[in-house]
Amino acid sequence: MACERQVAISPASADALERCSITMEQQANLKSNRSQRLVVLAPTPHDAYVCANVLRDVNIEAKFCDGIEPFCDEISTEAGAALIAQEHLTAAAIDRVKQTLLRQPTWSDFPLLVLLSAGETSATALEQMLSMGHVTLVNRPLRIATFVNTLRARLRDRQRQYAVRDLLQERQQAIESSRQDAMRIQMALRAGGMGAWEERNNEVFWSPKMFDLFGVPKDQKPSMQAALDRVHPDDLGELMHRWNATIRKGKPFQHEFRILHPQRGLRWLAAVGEPVKSKSGKVLRHAGLHWDVTEHREYQQSLEEARRQAEVANQSKSAFLANMSHEIRTPMTAILGYTDLIADKIADEDTLQHVRTIRRNGAFLLDIINDILDLSKIEAQKLDILRERFSPARLVEDVRSIMEVRATENHLDLDVEYQSELPVEIESDPKRLRQVLINLVGNAIKFTRRGGVRVLVSFADEKLRFEIVDSGIGMNETQLGRIFQAFSQGDHTVNREFGGTGLGLAISQRLTEMLGGTISVESEEGKGSKFIVTVSVGDISDVRMHQPTLIDDSAIDSNEQVNIALDCRILVVDDRRDVRFLSGKFLRDAGATVSEAEDGELAVAAVAESMSNGDTYDLVLLDMQMPKLDGYGAAKAIRRLGYTNPIIALTADAMQGDMKRCIDSGCNDYLSKPINKALMLTKVKAYVENDRESP
């Protein structure tokens, strides 16, 4: 807990913390006002010791806790405020604190200070912390003077709450014109820094604090006009509107507004009031309270500014990712595509193996890029779950078919076992569920040297359950504790021996949660691991159950190429010459006639010329990120020409939502870079034939 002022202390130790706790306990035993006591859950014992010295110097009583449970127990007592380090605020801890504060009386708005971590805090994390209640954020490094002033302000807030509570209780029990009650009210108002007012028969009465709040001389006769003269001109209209509505409707009044204090400058005041009625309902008078809320307003403004900066940072991050994706994926298209072209022309087996090694490592690099982008999309809340109906058994068989080649290469068995009946269809996101399963099965294969991997599938309690069991290297307790952390693997030797970014499991965990499920792991070092995944299946009330059977794909050649013949004119638009050449070669080899354009403006001109000549292109293959005029603008311009044939977008697909933007711009579909030859030819053929068959 870094401070701007150095505090002379010895290194933190258990003995030092014990001495600090004893001191705090001795102070707690004194007959002091518990509502002015601070409850502290510091980041470390060393920080607790430093904090104790700081608080003792400024005569602020504190109670130090060693965990979230005793911390919440202390809040439940008549504590004045609480300070907790962000390190302790896990999702479970935030929920625990929320529940504790919800049990507070209705009059209570418990002040909670959160000591932020030294690094950048996301907007999502800020919102989660702020959702706990009356939260004040304290930045690091800690500025002692600012911290003490903030703390005292929050303790005054708490004292004011107790004063208001006492006032409300006293008002309920008061006997009109009781001198004793009047004295108590005066004490409560004085303690809470509140000014009381009353308006009766056009005559106004003020407590002494009202004169101070508005900067009115005490020898001046109190009046509504004297207060209104201090109100900021921009706030006067709204204040009068609310007050007149209170007078007309006889309802309580509550508002915050600015005043121009003659000595203190611009201040914020809060006001509450209500009509006092007779038993018959007649309004006898109006009474209320004012108090200064300037400090609270300033903290709200600083919080809004912090939130705004976090949102701007997230937007910048999203834009950077979109650009980075394009800049990396576009050359990867050329690298992988040209590698395939070279491989088709090589007869020497050794040279061919070298080329295949380049291709395999290029694909591995692309996997790493995809992992980083996926994690960034999740953190920026730009990744959406697209639910649809699909067969879970078919999806499992797809995963098995994809991963069986890798298992065979590693001389491992890959078995699938259906342990119960499954719904014929479920409602979820098949793309994201497939991504989770492929990652877990791929990890199991990667970390298994001998034996095999089993995928056990079952359905129970309205959840689809997958168990991925391997006979691999396993993990110890320390490794299990950090396995789902981003950029983390079992230990430093794992990355060196097996490779990978350490992002796959972090992404899988977050995707599983987005699918309404959970992911857990059981493992023992040297004896393998078992990952357990459950996902929600949506509404399957009308879906029958069945016992899936294993599909024999052994006769299918995984390297079989789909032969697609094209007979059409296509315009390929991309600012990269190598991408245009690669796409054009794939299309020409399939029989298409191909023209090229290197930017959006040339593409629009080419389409216009072809339409005027009566030889319109059958399809436009359009890159989305180009100089001069990008693909989104080009697609709109081409549609404005009256071009109705298909347009297929080429995009890096950096952030969820690119597909929608492509469609909104006038494209019929999109392809992600790097270009998949078979997928591109399949889509081109389908769109061209469908367009020709349409009337």
Do 136 and 24 reside in the same domain of the chain? yes
CB atoms near residue 119 (< 10 Å): 7
**Around 423, how many Cα atoms within 13 Å sit in the side-chain half-sphere?**
23
Domain-terminating residue out of 276, 292, 308: 292
Do 149 and 199 reside in the same domain of the chain? no
Q: Is 188 a domain residue?
A: no
b/e for 148-175, b at 16 or more Cβ within 10 A? eebbebbbbbbbbbbbbbbbeebeeeee
Do 403 and 523 reside in the same domain of the chain? yes
Q: Is 669 a domain residue?
A: yes
Do 274 and 416 reside in the same domain of the chain? no
pLDDT at position 495: 43
Q: What's 491's domain CATH number? A: 3.30.565.10
Q: 57-76 pLDDT, tens per residue? A: 889 999 999 999 999 998 88
Q: 522-531 pLDDT, tens per residue? A: 988 888 899 9
Q: Which tokens hold the place of 269?
A: 């005041």
Q: Are the beta carbons of 639 and 604 closer than 8 angstroms?
A: no
Q: Is 336 a domain residue?
A: no
Closest to 195 (Cα-Cα) out of 182, 183, 186: 186
Tell me the β-bridge partners of 196: 289
Q: Is 349 a domain residue?
A: no
Do 204 and 269 reside in the same domain of the chain? yes
Quickly list DSSP for 477-513.
Answer: HHHHHHTTSTT--SSHHHHHHH---S-HHHHHHHHHH
DSSP conformational letter for 10:
P
pLDDT at position 361: 66
Cα–Cα distance for residue pair 538/517, rounded to 1 Å: 11
Do 492 and 575 reside in the same domain of the chain? no
pLDDT at position 21: 42
Please give the distance of CA 346 from its chain centroid, rounded to a whole number: 49
Q: Are the beta carbons of 395 and 432 closer than 8 angstroms?
A: no
Do 233 and 274 reside in the same domain of the chain? yes
Do 159 and 207 reside in the same domain of the chain? no
Q: Which tokens hold the place of 634?
A: 């080009």
Helices 45-57 and 14-29, axial angle in degrees (round to 10): 40
Do 131 and 221 reside in the same domain of the chain? no
Residue type present at position 587: L
pLDDT at position 582: 85
pLDDT at position 569: 95
DSSP E strand boundaries for 26-70: 38-41, 62-64
Closest to 59 (Cα-Cα) out of 82, 35, 37, 26: 37
Cα–Cα distance for residue pair 676/235, rounded to 1 Å: 62
DSSP conformational letter for 231:
B
Q: Are the beta carbons of 384 and 659 closer than 8 angstroms?
A: no
Domain hosting 154: range is: 14-163
Q: Which residues of the chain have pLDDT under 70?
A: 1-35, 171-192, 314-327, 329-330, 360-361, 363-384, 486-504, 550-562, 652-659, 694-695
pLDDT at position 23: 45
Q: Is 393 a domain residue?
A: yes
Do 423 and 525 reside in the same domain of the chain? yes
Cα–Cα distance for residue pair 322/173, rounded to 1 Å: 65
Cα–Cα distance for residue pair 587/513, rounded to 1 Å: 41
Q: How many domains does the chain have?
A: 4
Domain-terminating residue out of 292, 325, 344: 292
Domain-terminating residue out of 275, 292, 309: 292
Dihedral over alpha carbons 89, 94, 96, 98 (to 10 degrees): 140
Do 517 and 664 reside in the same domain of the chain? no
pLDDT at position 191: 54
Q: Is 483 a domain residue?
A: yes
Cα–Cα distance for residue pair 58/151, rounded to 1 Å: 11
pLDDT at position 530: 92
Continuous H helices in 380-491: 392-409, 430-446, 477-482
Q: Which tokens hold the place of 288?
A: 């209320």
pLDDT at position 559: 36
Q: What's 92's domain CATH number? A: 3.40.50.2300
Q: Do the bridges between strand 426-428 and strand 388-390 make them parallel or antiparallel, or are there none, so unpaired?
A: antiparallel
Q: Is 19 a domain residue?
A: yes
Q: Is 332 a domain residue?
A: no
pLDDT at position 17: 39
**Residue 585, helix vs strand vs coil:** helix
pLDDT at position 13: 36
Do 106 and 234 reside in the same domain of the chain? no
What Å distances lie between residue 261 and 157, 241, 416, 654, CA to CA?
21, 22, 77, 54
